[in-house]
Amino acid sequence: MIIVTLAVATVLALALIIPQLVASHPAFQSDTVSTTQAVQMMRIVPEYANIIQSNNTVIFTDSNIRLVVLAIGHEGLANLTANSPPGYATDDVFVIYGLADPTLIIPHDATVQIVLVNLDSGIYHSFVITSFSPPYSYMSMHGMKSGQSGFWAMMPFIPPTSSHGVAHEYSYSVALRNPETLWYLCSYPGHAQNGMYGRILVA
């Protein structure tokens, strides 16, 4: 009962924060796409992206990158690709060009346009970038703000896919200037804790 109450209180608190976050980031863009369109977008691998399935890695060779990310559960992942999620991922995952929670190797001074589509039918998701490494707590974004405390890029939670097969899409761009190790994760309570994250190597 206490856990449920805390979860509800957390969601309500985040609902107050999100409008302020969006207002301070006019570069955010939202749209809707069909689930079929979203899967097609993910399967179109750009020429500058090299997929290495053996170690679950995507290597980018261009400084202008469009990164299509699908947020989905394990069951949905099995319907999309034969690739298995990392051992640490016990629930929802990010699917990037057919890989689940892959390591992304990106050249420094690159600008990355992140396009997140939520294909989960009942769960909210986000895609944020941080310098904080795992493991993550239930409240992975507690005390963290965009541009402060190690968070590089934030975004609001994206609603679930509708019963009519309409998915919500959200995009924003981030510049990765210096060589370093970063992490992408879903900041919804409990998701990063359950393994919805991956590594970014800015080379």
Q: What is the pLDDT of residues 27-66, one digit of tens each?
A: 678 899 999 999 999 999 999 999 999 999 999 999 999 9
Q: What whole-number distance in Å separates Cα of residue 5 and Cα of residue 89?
A: 26
What integer is the mean pLDDT of 110-136? 93
Interval 191-202: pLDDT, tens: 999 999 999 999
Euclidean distance between CA atoms 134 and 198, whole angstroms: 9
Superfamily of domain 2-202: Cupredoxins -  blue copper proteins (2.60.40.420)
Residue 13 parent element (H or E): helix 2-23
pLDDT of residue 27: 61
Provide the percentage of residues in the chain whose pLDDT is more than 70. 80
Flag whether pLDDT at 179 surpasses 60.
yes
| Whether pLDDT at 22 is above 80 | no
pLDDT of residue 122: 86
List all residues 6 or more positions away from 10 whose beta carbon is below 8 Å from its beta carbon: 139, 189
Model confidence pLDDT, tens digit, residues 71-99: 998 777 777 777 778 899 999 999 999 99
According to the model, what pLDDT value does residue 149 have?
A: 52
Tell me the C-alpha distance between 3 and 199, whole Å: 29
Indicate the residue type of 160: P
Q: What is the pLDDT of residue 37?
A: 93
Check if the beta carbon of residue 156 is closer than 8 Å to that of residue 49.
no
pLDDT score at 151 = 58
- 104 in Cβ contact with 198 (< 8 Å): yes
Half-sphere exposure of residue 92: CA atoms within 13 angstroms, side-chain side:
26
Give Dmax over CA atoms of the chain in angstroms: 51
